Amino acid sequence: MSAQNLSADIYLGIMTGTSLDAIDVGACRFNGKNVELLAFHSVEWPAAMREILMELATAELVSMDLLARTNFLLAREYANAVEQTLTQSNIEKSDVRAIALHGQTIRHLPKPESVRGLDPIAATYQLGSGNALAALTGIDVVSDFRSGDVALGGQGAPLVPMFDYEFLCSHDVDRLVVNIGGIANVTWLKRNAEPEQVIAFDCGPGNMLLDFICGKYFAQPYDRGGEHASIGSIDNRLLHRLLAHPYFAMNPPKSTGRELFGEAFLHPVIEAIDNSELSAYDALATLAELTALTITGATTLVQTDMSSLEIIVSGGGARNSYLLDRIRINAPKARVVSSDFCGIPANAKEAIAFAFFGKAFLEEMPIHLPLTTGASRKIILGSHSIGMR
């Protein structure tokens, strides 16, 4: 028998993205279209843990022992983050209905391919045992949100558009909702949109490439406020070479990750820096422009008149003032604002979204929009692990 308090109405969302910067935990209550963020807490990965996750995300071959142990290491790190969040916010475990766990993506393979002659299949893999987390915390856990969508021919991403639709759709203006994490994704919300009118997809790299260059050449985890990029100049020849990647020309539904926009994609940039043909500052300016252009370029798929458009930005990239300036310059008629403007804190949005997905699962509400993921039909996404006290 579960000791969970079924009258509890607080949901914890745990999000760890491709940037591998931190574990984000949001504690939320939901009342209709209103979100109450009770607490938000970020816990940096231990250096060794981050190194392991980067290895698993990028290596062609990995140790099965390392893979198995990391699944449980992650559960322990998530449990510690939950305990810190509850302690600092004075929230009782008994008031938490469930934890919604995204898990750490180490492979995202949305294009079906054959394995040893078997029929082609797509896959996505998020590490972090939901069952272990439930055991460690004593709280119900909903996890593994993407697998069902992939099984039905979808890409398992993006999922956040359902949250965008529920909480950010406007009666007055058209909105392009942009989340800039390691990967940047967009949700197009026509004013008074119906669910079947929502268009959403990963538009390309967000912070991932910028963070890599900062780590390699400045020994910093990210370009705070875009300070380094603002010193540099955009190399248009290199920019056009990067924009020639076929992913940018693909029509949605589409999703991507480190597999396409990792170190291999950066090879011409690193080569130019190492050959003294390009400064690291210029590299950051060029990569920021790449992100800005692939975000604003998404508007060509949905509308041409940007005078009535709001671009709502969230994620780590919302703190990069240089990047936001480049988005404004490339979409001069649009109004570019943080999601804070709409009552959704930019740094907590994805954690809040997954908290909502945990609630949706328990209420048997589908959280994906098949037109955005490519799935053949709607289903209830997630797996439920019961916490015992």
pLDDT, averaged in runs of 10, over the chain (389 residues): 67 92 96 94 95 93 97 98 98 97 95 96 97 98 97 93 94 94 93 91 95 95 96 98 96 90 94 97 98 92 73 94 97 94 94 98 93 93 92
Rounded to two decimals, the pTM is 0.91
What is the CA 364 to chain-centroid distance, rounded? 23
Residues 299 and 211 in one domain: yes
Residues 120 and 172 in one domain: no
pLDDT at residue 4, rounded to an integer: 54
Contact 170, 196 (CB under 8 A): no
Residues 124 and 169 in one domain: no
366 secondary structure, DSSP code = -
Residues 101 and 170 in one domain: no
Residues 285 and 224 in one domain: yes
**Kind plus residue range of the DSSP H or E element containing 351:** helix 349-362
- Given the structure tokens 């991932």, which residue do they identify? 208
Greatest alpha-carbon span in the chain: 65
Residues 338 and 357 in one domain: no
CB proximity list for 116: less than 8 A, separation 6 or greater: none
| Peptide bond just before 253 cis, omega within 30 deg | yes
CATH of the domain at 100: 3.30.420.40
Residues 165 and 289 in one domain: yes
CA dihedral 350, 40, 56, 131 (to 10 degrees): -90
120 secondary structure, DSSP code = P
In a domain, 324, yes or no: yes
Residues 115 and 143 in one domain: yes
**Kind plus residue range of the DSSP H or E element containing 228:** helix 227-231
CB proximity list for 377: less than 8 A, separation 6 or greater: 152, 370
What count of other Cβ atoms lies within 10 Å of the Cβ of residue 37? 17
Residues 109 and 134 in one domain: yes
Structural domains in the chain (count)? 2
Contact 16, 22 (CB under 8 A): yes
pLDDT at residue 211, rounded to an integer: 95
Question: Which domain range does residue 251 map to?
Answer: 160-346
pLDDT at residue 1, rounded to an integer: 35
